[in-house]
Amino acid sequence: MLKHKLYDFVLFNFLARDKKNTEEVVTAGKGFVVPGIVASDFDHIEDGANRVREIKEVSDVVSIGLGGGGNPAFAQRVVDIAALSNPGHINQPFERTSFAKGYLDAKGLPHLVNALVTPSGNVGTVKLASGYEIQVEEFVEIAKATGIESIKFMPLKGNVHLEELAYLTKVAAEKGIRGIEPAGGISAANIKSIIDAVKDYSIELFMPHIFGTTIDKQTGRTIPAEVEKIMQALEG
């Protein structure tokens, strides 16, 4: 996926409000950043596509998330925005990932499309959007067989589901999945422990999505100083 990576496997996803905010966040994140938007912020597809185009003036790849805490109701909106703007990376519920990737591939717009699952509370299983709990090994085999390249795991709740994340990363790496993307409650206080938990598993891409702790609630802009804190936490 496009960029040089921290420790050769880590990139960070932060939301960007506009071109200037993108520039600020990429600089604060020392270039190890995939800036993003969430589809739930845009009632009109063209508005979302325009935001992606603006951010792409700074970054080759933009991530389009679902929004609403990973609400699958926004899945089609993500795909529609991507079809107009070619961001390069999108988020989808597991059940829709293969469709979304196939649809964009058919338009000549290859994307890295992740597959969202949620923690079950038990190491060795994950939950699908339907609520069905499935063994990690079985899930990863299905993901691999259906062309899924990256798995999004949320809500991580900081370190609450860290053992589950580590196990999922281990199995995914062993079976040839390219990426793992955790989200939820990630901050400068826990980012080092999260990366340390997976660093020995040889996953190609590990991309924490870090929103709530870094966004100015008044303006909706990601705060560069908060991004810098996350980077500094990894220097210790």
How confident is the model over 159-173, as pLDDT tens digits? 999 999 999 999 999
Domain assignments of the chain as residue spans, ordered by start: 12-233
- Cα separation of 33 and 57, whole Å? 14
**Third-level CATH fold of 12-233:** TIM Barrel (3.20.20)
Which pTM does this prediction carry?
0.96
CB of 230 closer than 8 Å to CB of 191 = yes
Return the H-helix or E-strand segment holding 14.
strand 12-15
pLDDT grade, residue 202 (50/70/90)?
A: very high
* Phi, psi torsion values for 198, nearest 5 degrees: -120, 0
b (16+ CB within 10 A) / e for 91-116: bbbbebbbebbebbeeeebebbbbbb
Q: Which run of H or E residues covers position 205?
A: strand 205-206
Q: Lowest-pLDDT range, 2-6, 105-109, 123-127, 169-173? A: 2-6
